[in-house]
């Protein structure tokens, strides 16, 4: 067979696919990114309703990939504390208690994606194939012959599925998923409140699901209200004034009145876990591998960990004479061993929180109350949860370890 066109072909130029391409760049590999939408660009004058809470580990990755300056020059909101409570108890996490300036950042998804894609444009070894999806592939001796939906064809040694929760690549590769619906919808919008957010992320656990207000750079907050399907339908059917009132009540008016809310978007919440992260010359990253409940804001952070871990494994695997093949089974197995267990533990924890909080059962309420009290009064337990929320637990890829030097 002739030399493949690419060493790595990435399906999906979303946040995780773009980060994977950047992390692989500058290592002597030829990389293609296939993205059907191609043009989801950030706009200065419109706040994207989709935002992500970004951990310190993910922030380090963005700095090292060269995307952070672009983000910071536009809009990023640090948060220094998390207040979380329900009817029976409360915990306040403060970065200062563990000697840190912040716990993470809130960033618009479109800004994150745009910053990564801007960096990709500067790399000679990355080719963006926009406006087409992966349509299928056949196997060849040392690569996959990949068909794009617009008729283009390419041969690549490795195909990375970064094509989201409904990954067509995962499905065509015959990789099974274990999935279940949470029976909730995530309602998102941008909210103007009477009082400022003070750099605090707030989350109240209601019996119908968690309601979060995340601090934004322009002083507003981003709403993520995970409500059971019936409640969500009622909330979506309300007029703006009634919804603002329901929201102010839901968050117990901790920021005073709700003055305005942008149009609401809703996403059905699912749990999905791929039973394998790899196939023959195929690796899954991001939501293609795992979709978790958004209550702890960890989904894309796990995907960025996958991106950095896969890039590190591949780059180590191809270093040295005669080892040019990034799609070798031994390389991919190392990646799967590294990431699958970690992601499964996080998914298990999210499902546990969901089970514990999303109801009024008296025994679970008592367990919650006890958990809140113990955590709030025990500094080591608090520090443990904060380091988890900052993404600083487990085996971090080199791109996410200290030290990082950036103005912030």
Q: Does 391 bind ligand FAD (CB under 6 A)?
A: no
Q: Does 154 bind ligand FAD (CB under 6 A)?
A: no
Q: Which of 6, 7, 9, 15 binds ligand FAD (CB under 6 A)?
A: 15
The two tokens of residue 214 are: 């995340």
Whole-Å CA distances, 262 to 48, 196, 201, 219, 385: 10, 17, 19, 14, 32
By the 8 A CB rule, do 269 and 193 touch? no
Q: By CB under 6 A, which span of 30-38, 94-102, 323-331, 352-360 interacts with ligand FAD?
A: 30-38
Q: Which of 298, 313, 343, 347 binds ligand FAD (CB under 6 A)?
A: 298
The Cα 291–Cα 263 span in angstroms is 25
- Least CB distance from residue 232 to ligand FAD, whole Å? 11
Residue 25 vs 107, nearer CB to ligand FAD = 107
The two tokens of residue 157 are: 């040694």
Q: Which of 4, 12, 317, 391 binds ligand FAD (CB under 6 A)?
A: 12
Residue list 305-334, contact with ligand FAD (CB under 6 A)? none
- Least CB distance from residue 135 to ligand FAD, whole Å? 7
Residue 77 vs 193, nearer CB to ligand FAD = 77
Instruction: Give SS3 for 127.
Output: strand
User: Measured in Å, how far apart are the chain's first and last C-alpha atoms?
Assistant: 49
Residue 136 φ/ψ, nearest 5 degrees: 165, 180
| Count of other CB atoms within 10 angstroms of residue 385 | 15
State how beta strands 153-161 and 6-11 pair. parallel
Q: By CB under 6 A, which span of 32-40, 71-79, 246-254, 392-400 interacts with ligand FAD?
A: 32-40
Residue 14 vs 326, nearer CB to ligand FAD = 14
Q: Does 399 bind ligand FAD (CB under 6 A)?
A: no
Q: Does 104 bind ligand FAD (CB under 6 A)?
A: no
Q: Does 164 bind ligand FAD (CB under 6 A)?
A: yes
Q: At what angle do helices 299-318 and 15-24 cross, to 10 degrees?
A: 20
The two tokens of residue 37 are: 């939408």
The Cα 202–Cα 108 span in angstroms is 18
Q: Does 209 bind ligand FAD (CB under 6 A)?
A: no
* Residue that is written with structure tokens 């309300």 in the block: 238
Q: By CB under 6 A, which span of 6-14, 59-67, 81-89, 338-346 interacts with ligand FAD?
A: 6-14
Q: Does 188 bind ligand FAD (CB under 6 A)?
A: yes
Environment class of 142 (CB within 10 Å of its CB; exposed 0-12, middle 13-18, buried 19+): middle
Q: Which of 4, 13, 89, 215 binds ligand FAD (CB under 6 A)?
A: 13
DSSP assignment, residue 119? Answer: H
Count the site residues for ligand FAD by CB under 6 A. Answer: 32
Residue 64 vs 293, nearer CB to ligand FAD = 293
Q: Does 24 bind ligand FAD (CB under 6 A)?
A: no
The Cα 214–Cα 212 span in angstroms is 6
Residue 278 φ/ψ, nearest 5 degrees: -140, 155
Interface mask (CB under 6 A) for ligand FAD, residues 262-291, using x and -? -----x------------------xx----
User: Which stretches of the chain bind ligand FAD, using CB under 6 A?
Assistant: 11-17, 34-37, 52-53, 133-134, 162-164, 168, 186, 188, 224, 267, 286-287, 294, 297-301, 303
């Amino acid at each position: 067979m002739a030399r493949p066109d690419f060493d790595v072909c990435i399906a999906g130029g979303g946040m995780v696919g773009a980060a994977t391409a950047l992390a692989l760049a500058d290592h002597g590999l030829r990389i293609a990114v296939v993205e059907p939408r191609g043009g989801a660009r950030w706009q200065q004058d419109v706040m994207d309703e989709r935002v992500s809470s970004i951990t310190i580990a993910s922030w380090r990755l963005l700095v090292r990939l060269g995307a952070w300056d672009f983000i910071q020059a536009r809009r990023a909101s640090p948060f220094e504390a998390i207040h979380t409570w329900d009817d029976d108890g409360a915990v306040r996490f403060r970065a200062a208690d563990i000697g840190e300036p912040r716990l993470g950042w809130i960033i618009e998804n479109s800004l994150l994606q745009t910053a990564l894609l801007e960096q990709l444009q500067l790399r000679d070894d990355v080719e963006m194939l926009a406006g087409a999806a992966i349509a299928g592939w056949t196997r060849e001796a040392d690569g996959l012959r990949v068909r794009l939906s617009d008729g283009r064809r390419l041969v690549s040694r490795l195909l990375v599925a970064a094509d989201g929760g409904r990954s067509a690549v995962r499905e065509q590769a015959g990789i099974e998923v274990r999935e279940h619906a949470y029976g909730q919808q995530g309602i998102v919008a941008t909210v103007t409140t009477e009082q400022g957010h003070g750099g605090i992320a707030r989350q109240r656990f209601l019996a119908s699901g968690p309601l979060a207000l995340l601090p934004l750079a322009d002083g507003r907050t981003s709403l993520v209200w995970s409500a059971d399907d019936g409640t969500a339908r009622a909330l979506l059917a309300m007029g703006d004034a009634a919804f603002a009132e329901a929201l102010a009540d839901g968050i117990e008016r901790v920021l005073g009145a709700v003055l305005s809310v942008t149009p609401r978007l809703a996403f059905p919440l699912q749990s999905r876990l791929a039973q394998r992260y790899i196939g023959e010359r195929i690796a899954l990253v991001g939501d293609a591998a795992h979709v978790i409940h958004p209550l702890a804001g960890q989904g894309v952070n796990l995907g960025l960990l996958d991106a950095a871990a896969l890039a590190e494994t591949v780059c180590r695997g191809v270093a040295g004479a005669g080892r040019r093949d990034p799609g070798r089974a031994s390389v991919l197995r190392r990646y799967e061993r590294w990431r699958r267990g970690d992601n499964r533990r996080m998914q298990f924890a999210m499902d546990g929180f969901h089970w514990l909080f999303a109801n009024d059962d008296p025994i679970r309420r008592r367990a919650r109350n006890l958990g809140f009290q113990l955590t709030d009064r025990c500094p080591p337990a608090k520090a443990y949860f904060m380091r988890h929320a900052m993404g600083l637990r487990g085996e971090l890829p080199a791109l996410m370890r200290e030290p990082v030097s950036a103005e912030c």
